[in-house]
Structure 1
Amino acid sequence: MSAILTPIPPLRLGVNVDHVATVRNARGGALPDPVRAALLAAAAGADGITAHLREDRRHIRDADMRRLRAEIPVPLNFEMAATEEMTALALELRPHACCLVPERREERTTEGGLDVIGGGIELAHRVETLAAAGIRVSLFVAPDAEQIARSADIGAAVVELHTGAWCEWLAEGRAAEAHEEFARLAQAATQAAALGLEVHAGHGLDYASAQEIAALVEIRELNIGHFLIGEAMFEGLETAIRRMRHAMAHGRAVLRAA
């Protein structure tokens, strides 16, 4: 009797265009245009576009979000702090998804995961409000069992696992720490999927780390921005995205071969 094979779920790629806007804002004016980058990314195979509208508008601006919502042919993932201002804008735009992230003005990029437990009733209310408007709510969290359990408790549809620490250990050649952090990511992905959460991952990923984490069957989407925009300066955005998709497919193939 032949074995019944469980289908391996596809792995989506979300491309973050924040740092196209970072370059634009360094000089002022309208170029380079993050919406043009989003359209190129979609044409090259991105399954969705992510943009983080920060409180200080250091890269993406309100007008960018409105244009992205109106012009791109793929789902828009609105990264945002869990504030009244951002919630109001999300309710106006009605993107496909909102990913709630921690935010501090002095940080260069998002540091660590959202404190879902510490967010208490207020965070739960924001999740409920966004979900009631038909917006898919994701919480950007560290691979921590208690934070993931609380994410499920307050009604999030998705958790995005913060891969930044793992990627830093890899970049620094600290193999033991990287191995331990990857084990935490794998355990967190298993836990989240068992709780009914869809599992995404992102922060600091490059071709090699995306390929490796793609082998975790529970993960359904990778969100990657800074690395792809950086590579685009050398080989073009479309080529960088196609190379990333190839790396992800290669990592997923490990599951099929197992």
Structure 2
Amino acid sequence: MTKLSVNINKLATLRNSRGGNMPNLIKSAKDIESFGAQGITVHPRPDERHIRYKDAYDLKDVVTTEYNIEGNPIPKFVEMVLNIKPTQVTLVPDAEDAITSNAGWDTLKHKDFLRDVIKTFQASGIRTSIFVDADVEMVKGAAQTGTDRIELYTESFAKGFLEGKKTESIQSFIDAAKMANKMNLGINAGHDLSLDNIKFFKENIPNLLEVSIGHALICESLYLGLENVINMYLHRLK
């Protein structure tokens, strides 16, 4: 079964919009795990507009499943991850003013930088993953960095699926996954995956280990309820 890691950034956005502590991120993480999710993901940004660095630290002793911290490995981020020692760190090439992640790493251009950062994290026993586009050459480049896994950036698939082009939009992801399998890289995926498209994606990607889902899952939960939606994802990921 592909594991479900729930990204709780949107809950932090809702909390920050009014100040105070509603919704309570610590309680939310505990509840999400109790509902069956196999991981919690956070993506703190330099401006802390949703997840704050303090949140990442506060969740350290709360998350009992897999704890995944995403972000651009700027010095402050690297220091935080090394202090927390989550299960996994996912490296994302976000600009500081990015609204959301919008591209994977150029693993050829940034190979040396990524290799050094990855060695640093792995030396502390932290599993590493690199956010990449569904491009065979980028997967090959990722393998040269020594990373444990890649996370396929799935926005183009989600867009094609919505437009009725699911067969065409999935092909580059199948190719990238096959190359990752060949290079002994674990495969994660995330960005705009939803209840509508997750089953088709999972069925077509060989050896998909984990998906990280936040925005769609929280939006769907407004109508269907958080516990119900998590179990709907788990059913589709079997």
Q: TM-score, normalised by structure 1?
A: 0.88
Q: Give the number of the structure whose residues are more often helix, by fraction.
A: 1
Gaps of 5+ in 1: 1-9, 250-258
Deviation at 1:179, TM superposition (A): 2.7
In 2, Cα distance between equivalents of 1:212 and 1:196: 23
Q: TM-score, normalised by structure 2?
A: 0.95
Give yes or no for contact 1:152–1:195 (8 Å, CA) kept in 2: yes
Taking the aligned partners of 1:115 and 1:42, their CA distance within structure 2 comes to: 34
Runs of 4 or more off by more than 4 Å in structure 1?
A: none
| DSSP-derived class of the 1:113 partner | coil
Structure with the greater alpha carbon radius of gyration? 1
Instruction: Report the counterpart of residue 231 of structure 2 in structure 1.
Output: 242
Root-mean-square deviation over aligned CA pairs: 1.3
Conservation of the 8 A alpha-carbon contact between 1:11 and 1:222 = yes
Indicate which of 92, 104, 108 corresponds to 1:117.
108
| 2-structure distance, mates of 1:246, 1:158 | 24
Q: CA deviation at 1:174?
A: 4.7
The residue matched to 2:108 in structure 1 has which SS? Answer: helix
TM-superposed deviation, 1:105:
3.1
Change (3 A) 1:112 1:232: same
The answer for the alignment partner of 2:123 in structure 1 is 132
Specify the alignment match of 1:212 in structure 2. 200
Look up the match of 1:185: 173
Residue 59 of structure 2 is aligned to residue 71 of structure 1: no
- The amino acid across from 1:208 in the alignment is D
The answer to whether the 8 Å contact 1:138/1:157 transfers is yes
The one-letter code sitting in structure 2 at the alignment partner of 1:231 is: E
Amino acid at match of 2:83: E
Deviation at 1:147, TM superposition (A): 1.2
> Is 2:32 aligned against 1:44?
no
* In structure 2, C-alpha distance between the alignment counterparts of 1:220 and 1:30, rounded to whole Å: 33
Q: Does 1:146 align with 2:134?
A: no
Structure 2 gaps, min length 5? none
Q: Which residue of 1 aligns with 2:148?
A: 157
Deviations 1:66-93 (A, max 9, x none): 1211112111001010211111111111
Counterpart of 2:218 in structure 1 is 229
Identical positions, percent: 31
Offset at residue 217 of structure 1 (A): 2.7
Q: How many residue pairs align between the two structures? A: 237
